Chains A and B, each alone.
Chain A
């Protein structure tokens, strides 16, 4: 059974080309249905890649069909697309999918979304025995890589880093109070990230009250003016600030006394603004932690370096799964020969029992059952070792030779030909 993969990804193709062949869920499912006539087909399409996985029994390679399909999808951009398409087969295709599922082929190593996208592609595709096994193993490899290594653990964006830092200070964020100062896009994303981890955004302070009120309503917080910030600080645990003010909004003179009155109760000040909103001298106050945009980017960079280091370990996990899949795939080459051999043996046994039926009829029912069982056992025992040896040979290059020898020695398939 031949496995073919043709695809395009962010490694070689710019977004202008990728978007020509990008498909949403229903379209990918429709294309898989279309391609699956007499074959197996799964279409994986994300913002970074579109890949066609095809498999069929007996056909030499389905690569040309997959290439033709993608070029058709690209329309007039087809000629530009063709040189950046990658074409992989069998073990290489499997290893590629396992790396994709583990997030090793992603822009951000170990990103979590890709595993769900691979699962969706599998569930909406048209897999048969080969692609079913391939995608199940890929999902398993993706999960293993994330469980056995720290490739997906550390934050990969500024909002995620801010939320992870809050967890590093407060542990559980349930019930923690967040105050947003300024209603920019990054602070909104940070607020949503904090909320997804259990924190509550209690107030949004903004220079433009209408804009602040709109965001406050969206996230279930109250809207206050910039002059109301000091009043919110007493109960706050995290302050996310991103105003366009030309100078510091939070200074030692302005809020130092309020912070000291907290008696060391931790406060995380996340400053996403340029120029900065938070005077770094506030970090000198007991319990007060100040992170500006450069600090957060350094945290993200360090996290990504950590992910890249973990990627080396994840590659080993993926390689082990790829090897297991290769062995299974190789064993498919001898499966028909084993099945034929067993069928032939069973046919001989049945025919010999039928020839002896006249004599066996005189035996009581219990003895006849014993004869049945003993002959079946003899067949099984005789075939056990050749079956095991053929399966062992299958994972090496000798599998096909073994299968041919068995066919020749036992005359398998000769009756059908005759």
Chain B
């Protein structure tokens, strides 16, 4: 029965994605409805995850679809930290369609059932959770970077509606994206360390190499920002490039290996 919670979560996330698109026409009801959709959907998904955890003997999100389910929950949870504030509502435009789509994919892959295949091992659970939390941070930072580039483009093009359809200020987006990416990098680093502890010698695959590459990219981006003042649009493009690696290359290498 508990697996039915996927539907309110999916419907609410979908409603939020549509409502945030409505916010583009003007601030007000669309944004408020979107925020409530995110909240309710997240509560429903939390219920689903709790049910999965209670029914499990080990770690119920070790399959790719299960991991995607947990990943979406982490991304939406992270978004909720800012997304409830009116000035960051439009971040939902970048996050919620992706979240709804990924959750649908997780459902299609069988990652939202309560009787998923379990894999025992506390270290593995911590490793996967940390890695997913790190990637969730990169996803939200990528959303902020996309929003930065959109806002910068509107300001450069002297869009007359720039103050009517208000996105967060440029520098706030730049700062926040860097902070979220830094938090993601810290979580990913911890996840890699825990993963190394569970790794058998000679068990290295392409996905691990790409993961280390992603780690190096984000570390370099943050270092450049700190030491060479590489911020603004260049930092935003770096974050989006990193997100592309997370979203495209990592899954491909994961399934290939």
Contacts and interface: CB of A to CB of B under 8 A. Distances in A.
A299 B229 contact: no
Contacts of B28: 149-150, 313
A263 B229 contact: yes
A169 B163 contact: no
A167 interface: yes
Contact of A264 (B156, B163, B164, B232): B232
Contacts of A154: 163-164
A161 interface: yes
A155 B160 contact: no
A298 B160 contact: yes
A25 interface: no
A167 B27 CA distance: 18
A168 B162 contact: yes
Contacts of B164: 154, 302-303, 305-306
Interface string B147-187: 00001000110101111101011111000000000000000
A164 interface: yes
A266 B163 contact: no
B27 A164 contact: no
Contacts of A313: 28
Contact of A170 (B163, B169, B228, B233): B169
B26 interface: yes
A171 B28 CA distance: 21
Nearest to A262: B229
Given A154-B163, A161-B163, A264-B234, A306 B26 contact: yes
Contacts of A169: 155, 169-171
Given A150-B27, A170-B171, A265-B229, A165 B163 contact: yes
Contacts of B151: 168
A286 B155 contact: no
A168 B170 contact: yes
A177 B49 CA distance: 50
A299 B162 contact: yes
A78 B66 CA distance: 82
A82 interface: no
A328 B169 CA distance: 45
A286 B232 contact: yes
B158 A266 contact: no
A165 B155 CA distance: 9
A19 interface: no
Of listed A150, A154, A168, A306, residue having the most chain B CB within 10 A: A168
Contacts of A264: 229-234
Contacts of A303: 163-164
A168 B170 CA distance: 6
Contacts of B160: 295, 298-299, 301-302
B233 A289 contact: no
Contact of B156 (A167, A283, A309): A283
Nearest to A295: B158
A303 B88 CA distance: 20
Interface string A130-172: 0000000000000000000110001100000100110111110
Given A301-B160, A306-B26, 18 more contacts: A150-B27, A161-B163, A167-B169, A168-B151, A168-B155, A168-B170, A171-B171, A263-B229, A263-B230, A264-B230, A266-B170, A295-B160, A298-B158, A302-B161, A303-B164, A305-B164, A306-B164, A309-B26
18 contacts: A150-B27, A150-B28, A154-B164, A165-B163, A168-B163, A169-B155, A169-B169, A170-B171, A171-B171, A266-B170, A266-B171, A283-B156, A289-B156, A298-B160, A299-B160, A302-B164, A303-B163, A305-B164
Please name the 3 residue pairs, one residue from A and one from B, whose CB atoms are nearest each other, closest first. Answer: A171-B169, A298-B160, A264-B232
